[in-house]
Structures are given as structure tokens and as C-alpha cells.
Structure 1
Amino acid sequence: MMKFVFFMLFMIPLGFFSSFWIMQFLFFIVSFMFLFSFSFNYLVMNISMSLGCDLLSFMMILLSFWICSLMILSSESLFKNNIYYNLFMFVMVILMLSLFLTFSSLNMFIFYIFFEISLIPTLFLIIGWGYQPERIEAGLYLLFYTLLVSLPMMVALFYLFDNKNILEFYFLKNIDSVFIYMCVNLVFFVKMPMFFVHLWLPKAHVEASISGSMILAGVMLKLGGYGLIRLMVVFMKIGIKINYLFIVISMVGGVIVSLLCIRQSDMKSLIAYSSVAHMGLVLGGIMTMSLWGLFGSLVMMLAHGFCSSGLFCLSNILYERIHSRSLYLVKGMLNLMPSMSLFWFLFCCFNMAAPPSLNLLGEIILINSLVSFSSLNMLALMLMSFFGAVYSLFLYSYSQHGKVYSGSFSFYMGVNREYLLLFLHLFPLNLLVLKSEYLVICF
């Protein structure tokens, strides 16, 4: 594991001296190096310096590397217009390094430190390269929501270390305190985000640049799910008693947020709220504490990471041309960009879990686990699936059909880089379905 850490550490000075495309190449190289270094077995591998990697960590790290590589590919305008792109590269490498260390740490305190460090580059991406002046407010929302709930977690970790004298994930078992459970898990509920503590997410997405939106949707929301899965064994006793409360919140919240999606006029806001609805489903699956629930939530997190990131790329491609995210202005793209409309159709279909996407597999497994937990969940799941289809088709039909906005001028259909970017989102989304049996090994 340390070889990847050193690889990324030596990439930091390169960000200031080398070309934009050399850095892009190195990001893809580290992704493929990591992909081919893994052996698919039941054990934690590459254990060194409190770092290790099982299949859950491996999938999350691979998702982080891949999304970070695609973020650079999507941010070519920074390079062309010379908008502090060297600093952008520096922030990107720091972000990738902190995410790698977060997902691979075996110690709870090291996990906590890098979990919080990964917030700082994300904040810089929103405040530094966002579009409107309101990005400062969005950044503060993100910062205070996260920091307010992270302090109780730190206190809980000190308390645990004082009592147990160890903070390794694999040695902590059967903590039976509601207070510790809430202190530790509240951080992950905010990061997921759970309904009631989700207000920072649409704000952050709307104000962030394309790279900020991609990392938020693709990886940052998965930190919450990863933390909950990792600590589920620790809180098994108390979880059996109170997890049903969070299942109710996630199910009802998912339905309400799906309804909110349908009345959004801002493209980015709609995709952000759909992320909240999908992560509500993931949270429900994790809280069932069943094998199917965990398997489904891992599959859903991966699928959502690629799918929502791709949708944000598509919305940015239109924003770069029309300079608006409003669904009332962005219309008739089927006439102007027919090739891009294919990608719009595919991503909107995958967002509503149409076959053969990974989203469908995740949703089927999560529906199984939630209905077997309680048959009352069936109603909420039916509504969420239906409204998921409604807002996905709403997004597609509003943006692709209708009369072209008369203020559009100097329009070009799309460049190879944009099609490559969208294909690299779509390819793993369809490819992972064919090898889905590997995703269940870690449980």
C-alpha cells in the first residue's frame, strides 16, 4: 500500500512543473496499477503501516482513482483558460491521496483524520473553481455540517481508546452504548447524506465546478456508506435495537426527496436530489445489517458513483455552451447534439435502474433485503422506484425535446474528449454487471 502513497506523494511537485496531460496520464496509470495489484480472495491484503485493503476498500479506492482521473479530463477548460490549473492539480493529488488513505486505513483514528482531511480539498474545489458568488455560502454549509458532527466522533474515539485501549476496526466488538453509536454514526449520516441532514448537498452541487460535483457525487457520499459498513460489526448489539428508526427515516425521506426532484427546474439540483434519494436506499440496506443489504449497498454505491458523475458531466457540457442550468432554457438538444443525446438517454435510463446497468442489480438486491426486513418497506420502495423513473425521464425529455433556446449561438456538437469522458463513465457501469460475483466476496 505504501508504494501507492509514495507514487502520489511524488506526483505533488509534478503538478506544478509538468503538463496538464502528463498528470492526466499519471492519474490513469496509478488507477490501472492499483487494479492489477489486487488478488480476489477473502483476506485483507497488503497490510502495512496500519493500512490494508479488502474488497470493500479496493472497490472504493478504485472508484476514487477513476473519478479523480475523469475529473481532470472534464476540467480541460481550466487548462485552456489558464485558471490556476497547477494549483488545481495540486489539490487533486492531495484529494486522491487523502481518499486512498481514508479507504485503506485499518485504524479508526487514522480513518477519522483522513476522513476530515479529504473535506479540505473538496472545499477548495467548490470555493476556488465554483461559478457563482454563492459558492462561499455553499462551502460554509458543507464545512459546518461536517465539522459540527465530527467533534462528537472524536470525543467518542477518545472514550473508546480509554476503555478498550485499541482502535483497530477488526478488534472492536459489541459496543452497547447508544451515545457512542450516535456520536460515531452521525458523521456518516451527514456525509451520506441522510434525510434531515441533507441540505448541504444540493447547495454544494449547484455552486461547485464540474470537478467538485463529480467528486462529491462519485466518492464523497460513499465515505458515509463505507464508514457505516466498516463499523457495523462494532455496533451489532445496539444496531439490532435502534436501526429500524434509521430505516424508516431513509425510506420516507427517499420518497419525499423523489417528489422534490420532480419539481426542480435546475439540472444540477435535480441530479443532486436524486443522489439523496439513491443514498437513502443505500442507507436502508446497510441498516438492515443483512448480507444482502451490504452486498446491495456496495453495488449501489459503485453504480451511483459512475452514473451521477456522468450526469453531472452531461449537465456541464450543456452549461459550457448555453451558460444556464435551467430546464426552461436548456431545451431541444436532440436537434443540436444528436450524438450527445444518446449518452443523455443511457445515463437517464441507468439512473432509473434500467437493465443492463449495475444500478438495476443494486436496486433488486436492496429491495430484497429491505422487504425481508419488513414488508411495510414495500410501499416506500414502490414509490421510490416509480418516482425515480419519473424524474429521470423528466430530465431527459425536458433537456432533449422542445423548442431550441433562441439565445443559443456559436454552438458545436461536442469534441472527442467529451465523448471519451462519458464513455469512461459508462464502460465500468456496464462491465461490472458481468463480473458482479466478485462484489460479494468481501461479505
Structure 2
Amino acid sequence: MLKIMLPTIMLLPTALLSPPKSLWSNTTMHSLLIALVSLQWLTPSYLPHKNLTTWAGIDQISSPLLALSCWLLPLMILASQNHLQHEPLSRKRLFITTIITVQPFIILAFSATELTLFYITFEATLIPTLILITRWGNQPERLSAGIYLLLYTLISSLPLLITILYLHSQTGTLLLPLLKLTPPPMLTNSWPTSLMTLALLLAFMVKAPLYGLHLWLPKAHVEAPIAGSMLLAALLLKLGGYGIMRTTLLMTHPNPLQYPFLTLALWGALMTSSVCLRQTDLKSLIAYSSVSHMGLVIAATMIQTHWSFSGAMILMISHGLTSSMLFCLANSNYERTHSRILLLTRGLQPILPLMTTWWLLANLTNMALPPTTNFMAEMTIMTSLFNWSPLTIILTGTATFLTASYTLFMFLVTQRGPLPNHITLIQNSTTREHTLMTLHIAPLLLLILKPELIA
């Protein structure tokens, strides 16, 4: 654990003390080395925990998410380079420092075996994200987006803190391995139990986000800089799914709350897919597609079977890489056309043919085309939901159909059609952008060969 944590913390002096000319290359290379070392966490183990200490440990649920969070740090730095090229040096250093600060918190949140540490790190990720959105966002609405994010997260996490404190007073421990061995006394079927379960799940449902609690997400995505969008879509949403996985394991199985949550999640997947079909803003479209995919993850985690957990984990990793890549592509369009409106940025295929290839690959993985890991995940989730109740096939089937529809719509509108008259001069795609897309798509394609690493 420390062989990842210490180099990650040492990235801060690297960002603050590197000479101006080699600032980007030093931080990118350093974080890429950390990402490559973190891949050792994916090695399958027959033990329930690897590297178990009194405060942290890595198991099959956390190792794929830890590897994903380390992998995305160099990609965020790489994606932000063009966005910050005209900024003064002090602002560049501060930006990179802010991105790096999130990383240790995310690593600790995913590996914490003690609920208090998990709660503190879960909340601590909010501060750098808020700074990123409000300080480096694009539009004047970035402050209201930051307030939305803050209010939703803080209001939902206060009940979680109270529940954790109550749990400690009842059981005398907050260690997850011990809590699994000794079912807490509050897990008897009564209305206070349902209230506690609701409080435990609410913070994660907002973070995931569940349909109805998702209104902060499109605003935050649209206003955030590219690194903020990647961080939100690929990692912070996964904290919600991970938290639900961890807390549902502590609950008794016939949980009365699973019905409203499941209904909302599946209905949300359907509704947000429909919303995507009539979006005019490219980043907003990708943000709503994230809500749709995470709806399937929430539905899968609520039924608590091995198959559904496996499907939810594969979908979280696949979606993390896919949505991050889509945001990078949307950003590369925005940097050239200075607009995110779909009608004003259409017909780019003749001008940027190689970027069209990346768009096609990202869209095919987003619509879960076989044999991608997204397809494996969606099929596993749909099968386990169908096994739980055959009626769910109506909602999941329609949601899958709508996902394919809006993905094709997004690809056709951005790449095909007549070129708008106002686009006269456009900058060529760069090696940096192609490297960024390759580093996104390569893990997705390689995981097709060995999906059990993340299942």
C-alpha cells in the first residue's frame, strides 16, 4: 500500500518544484509509473484480503477500482495540458497540485477497512473537486454548480455519519471484516432499522447518483474543466457504487428498501436515456448517459448476488474508462470549435478523420457492443435482474435500446452531416490527444481477453 501512497504524495513536491519547461512531462511520467506499479493489485488472490493492515486492505471489490484511480491520474494531467497553456505558471502548478491531492483520498477511500476512515476520505474528495469546478470551470454558472454539488453531498452524508456513530455505540467496532462476522444488533426487522439502512445508503445513492438525486451531476459536469469531468465520471461516481456494495453486505438480505431503490434506478436508466436523445449540449449528453449506466449498477448492487456484484464491478470499470474517453473527445472538439452545442460542431469527420476513429471506438464501447467488457457487464446484470424478477427485462431491455439510440445519435451528429459555415480554420489533432485516447481504449480492449481481473 505504501509503495503507491508515498510516490503519490511525492508527486506534490514534483509539481511544485519542477522547472517550468519540464513541469508537464515530470508529473505525467511520475504518475504513469505509479499507475504501472498499481497494476500489481489486479493479480488474483485466494485470500480475502491482500496487504491487510489495521486501517486498510485490498480485496476483490477494491483492487479494480484502485488500479483504475491510479491509471486515470496521468490521463487527467495529459488531458489538461492544452486547456492550461495560456495560464501563468503558478496557476498550472496549483491545478496539478489540486488533481494530485484527490488521489490519496480516493486510494484511502477504496482501501479503507474501517468505516470512520472511509467516511473521512469519502468526504475529503469533495474539497479538491469543488476547487477544480469553481476555480477552473468554463462558464459563470460554475459557482452554482459547485454549490449544488456541495449541498447535495453534505446534506446526504450527515445521516451517514450519525448512523456510523450509532453503529459503533451498538457493536463497539467499525472494522468491516469484524462487522461481517458479527451482525450488528440494529439489523432486526423494525422501522428504526429501515431508517438506519436508508441513512447508510442515501449518501452513496447521491454520489452514484440515483435518479431523482442526480440533478447536481449534469451541472457539475458541464461547468467542470476536462480533468474535473474525468474525475467525476470515472472515479467519484464509482465511490457511490463501491459504498453501496460495502454497506449492502452488512445488511440482512430481505431488505424492504431494495424495492423503491431498484425501481428508481431502473426507471432512472430509462428516463435519462430518453433525456439523452434530446440533449443539445455534448457534455450534458455524456453526463446523463453516466446516470443511466450507474442506474444499472445500483439495481445490480441492491439484489446482492454474486453475479450482480460481478456485473456491477465490470460495468463500473468499463464505464469509468469509456465516459472518461468520451469527455476527452468532447473536450478536443470544444478546444477547436469553442462550442459544445451539437448543431454547431457537426460534420467533423472530413477534417479530423483519425479523431473519428476514436469517436467510433468510444461509442461502440458505450453502447455495449459485443465483445466489449461493457457488453459482458450489461448481460450479467440483466441476467441476474431477470433471475430476481422476470418483469425487469422490460425496463433493462428498453434502456439498452435507448442507450444504443442516443450513442448512435451522438456519433452521427458530431461526425457526419454538412460542416457549419463558421468553421473555416481548425487545428489538427495532436500526438498528445492520440496518446490520451490510446491509454483509455487499450485497457478496455485488453480486458476483453481477461475480464476475470475486474470481475
Q: Deviations over 1:198-237 (max 9, x none)?
A: 0000000011111110011111110011011112221134
Q: CA deviation at 1:57?
A: 1.2
Aligned amino acid, residue 68 of structure 1: L
Which position in structure 1 is the counterpart of 2:46? Answer: 42
Matches within 5 A, 1:155-234: 155-172=162-179, 173=183, 175-176=187-188, 177-234=193-250
Which position in structure 1 is the counterpart of 2:25? Answer: 21
Aligned amino acid, residue 3 of structure 2: K
Which position in structure 2 is the counterpart of 1:143? Answer: 150
Give the 3 Å change call, closer, same or farther, for CA 215–227 of structure 1 in structure 2.
Answer: same
RMSD of aligned C-alpha atoms?
A: 1.3
CA distance in 1, matches of 2:408, 2:85: 34
Among 60, 65, 69, which residue is 2:74 paired with?
69
Q: CA deviation at 1:52?
A: 0.8
Q: CA deviation at 1:260?
A: 0.6
Query: Is the partner of 1:259 in helix, strand or coil?
Result: helix
CA distance in 2, matches of 1:291, 1:94: 34
Query: Do 1:35 and 1:62's aligned partners in 2 also have CA atoms closer than 8 Å?
Result: yes
Among 428, 435, 441, which residue is 2:443 paired with?
428
Among 272, 281, 294, which residue is 2:296 paired with?
281
Query: Do 2:42 and 2:454's aligned partners in 1 also have CA atoms closer than 8 Å?
Result: no
Matches within 5 A, 1:373-384: 373-384=388-399
Select between 359-368 and 82-91 the one with higher mean Cα deviation: 82-91
Select between 168-177 and 312-321 the one with higher mean Cα deviation: 168-177
Aligned amino acid, residue 396 of structure 2: L
Q: Deviations over 1:379-415 (max 9, x none)?
A: 1011101100100000000111111122223312300
CA distance in 2, matches of 1:153, 1:179: 11
Which position in structure 2 is the counterpart of 1:349? Answer: 364
- The answer to whether residue 109 in structure 2 is matched with residue 102 in structure 1 is yes
Aligned amino acid, residue 10 of structure 1: M
Select between 211-220 and 37-46 the one with higher mean Cα deviation: 37-46
Q: Deviations over 1:312-369 (max 9, x none)?
A: 0000000000000001101111111111111111111111101221110100100101
Aligned amino acid, residue 377 of structure 1: T
Which position in structure 2 is the counterpart of 1:130? Answer: 137
CA distance in 2, matches of 1:303, 1:37: 17
Query: Do 1:42 and 1:54's aligned partners in 2 also have CA atoms closer than 8 Å?
Result: no
- The answer to whether residue 311 in structure 2 is matched with residue 296 in structure 1 is yes
Aligned amino acid, residue 133 of structure 1: P
Matches within 5 A, 1:83-122: 83=88, 84-122=91-129
Aligned amino acid, residue 239 of structure 2: L
Query: Do 1:331 and 1:403's aligned partners in 2 also have CA atoms closer than 8 Å?
Result: yes
Query: Do 2:64 and 2:453's aligned partners in 1 also have CA atoms closer than 8 Å?
Result: no
Q: CA deviation at 1:36?
A: 2.6
CA distance in 2, matches of 1:366, 1:360: 10
Which position in structure 2 is the counterpart of 1:6? Answer: 6
- The answer to whether residue 380 in structure 2 is matched with residue 368 in structure 1 is no
Q: CA deviation at 1:79?
A: 4.7
CA distance in 2, matches of 1:236, 1:28: 42
Q: CA deviation at 1:370?
A: 0.7
Among 30, 35, 44, which residue is 2:34 paired with?
30
Q: CA deviation at 1:179?
A: 1.4
Which position in structure 1 is the counterpart of 2:403? Answer: 388
Query: Do 1:356 and 1:430's aligned partners in 2 also have CA atoms closer than 8 Å?
Result: no
Matches within 5 A, 1:251-262: 251-262=266-277
Which segments of 5 or more consecutive residues in structure 1 lack a partner in the other structure?
A: none
Which position in structure 2 is the counterpart of 1:402? Answer: 417
Aligned amino acid, residue 53 of structure 1: I
Q: Deviations over 1:236-269 (max 9, x none)?
A: 3453x33122111111111111111101000001
Aligned amino acid, residue 76 of structure 2: M
Query: Is the partner of 2:454 in helix, strand or coil?
Result: helix
Query: Do 2:79 and 2:433's aligned partners in 1 also have CA atoms closer than 8 Å?
Result: yes
Query: Do 2:221 and 2:287's aligned partners in 1 also have CA atoms closer than 8 Å?
Result: yes
Aligned amino acid, residue 161 of structure 2: M
Q: Deviations over 1:36-86 (max 9, x none)?
A: 355421321112241111122111111111112100010112452235110
CA distance in 2, matches of 1:56, 1:123: 27
Among 340, 349, 365, which residue is 2:355 paired with?
340
Aligned amino acid, residue 336 of structure 1: I
Select between 228-237 and 193-202 the one with higher mean Cα deviation: 228-237
Q: What is the identity percentage for the equivalent residue pairs of Structure 1 and Structure 2?
A: 38
Which position in structure 1 is the counterpart of 2:338? Answer: 323
CA distance in 2, matches of 1:378, 1:243: 17
Query: Do 1:30 and 1:65's aligned partners in 2 also have CA atoms closer than 8 Å?
Result: yes
CA distance in 2, matches of 1:267, 1:276: 15
TM-score, normalisation: structure 2: 0.94
Q: CA deviation at 1:28?
A: 0.7
Query: Do 2:41 and 2:67's aligned partners in 1 also have CA atoms closer than 8 Å?
Result: no
Aligned amino acid, residue 13 of structure 1: P
Among 314, 322, 327, which residue is 1:312 paired with?
327
Which segments of 5 or more consecutive residues in structure 2 lack a partner in the other structure?
A: none
Q: Deviations over 1:272-304 (max 9, x none)?
A: 001000000111111111111000000000000
Query: Do 2:11 and 2:31's aligned partners in 1 also have CA atoms closer than 8 Å?
Result: no
TM-score, normalisation: structure 1: 0.97
Which position in structure 2 is the counterpart of 1:82? Answer: 87
CA distance in 1, matches of 2:221, 2:436: 19
CA distance in 2, matches of 1:95, 1:132: 23
Query: Is the partner of 1:283 in helix, strand or coil?
Result: helix
Select between 431-440 and 421-430 the one with higher mean Cα deviation: 431-440
Give the 3 Å change call, closer, same or farther, for CA 380–37 of structure 1 in structure 2.
Answer: closer
Select between 35-44 and 120-129 the one with higher mean Cα deviation: 35-44
